[in-house]
Amino acid sequence: MKLLIPTIVLGTLISMSACDNKKSDTELFQSSPVRLSLSSNVRKGYEPLLVEFSAYLETDDDLASDKITEIKWEITGPGGYKDEFIQQTYNYQDEEENENDFFHFERDFRIPGKYRIQLILNDGKYKSNPYSIDVWQRPENR
């Protein structure tokens, strides 16, 4: 009977501390690996090629949110082409919140070649892997 009481007390302490360990969104970002997953509706095609990009900011635990203050899309391409597009923050999930986890961008590629696109948030705090788009010249334009 003496051994049973410490076990019950220990179990209660463990369950109480588990309730206190709920993580906020900020703590989730600090404790879990964060990924910025980038995808598009097409990856290759003939010029002019309209591409719609989508990205999600997520952790291992669940889709998570962090206050995003800067959204920058970097594009590099043929002949040393380099461009940056800064977007205003906007939350597609919940307009009442000032936090984002979904991003959208459209680009019309008119010059044939290979392009690399990367999404960078909060001045480099979060970065997607570079994403490739291959734009082909139409046979009749050669």
Per the domain annotation, does 74 fall within a domain?
A: yes
Would 2 be classed as within a structural domain?
no
Sort 117 into a burial class: Cβ within 10 Å, 0-12 / 13-18 / 19+: buried
Domain region containing 119: 32-141
Examine residue 18 and state whether it is found in any structural domain, yes or no: no
Q: Look up the pTM and report it.
A: 0.67
Separation CA 30–CA 103 (nearest Å):
21
Decide if 45 is inside a domain: yes
Q: Which residue has the higher pLDDT, 60 or 30?
A: 60
Q: Is 94 among the domain residues? A: yes
Specify whether the CB–CB gap between 101 and 62 falls below 8 A: no
Q: In this structure, is residue 66 part of a structural domain?
A: yes
Q: Is residue 5 part of a domain?
A: no
pLDDT in tens, 30-57: 555 778 899 999 999 999 999 999 998 8
Residue 8 lies in a domain: no
**Number of separate domains in the chain:** 1
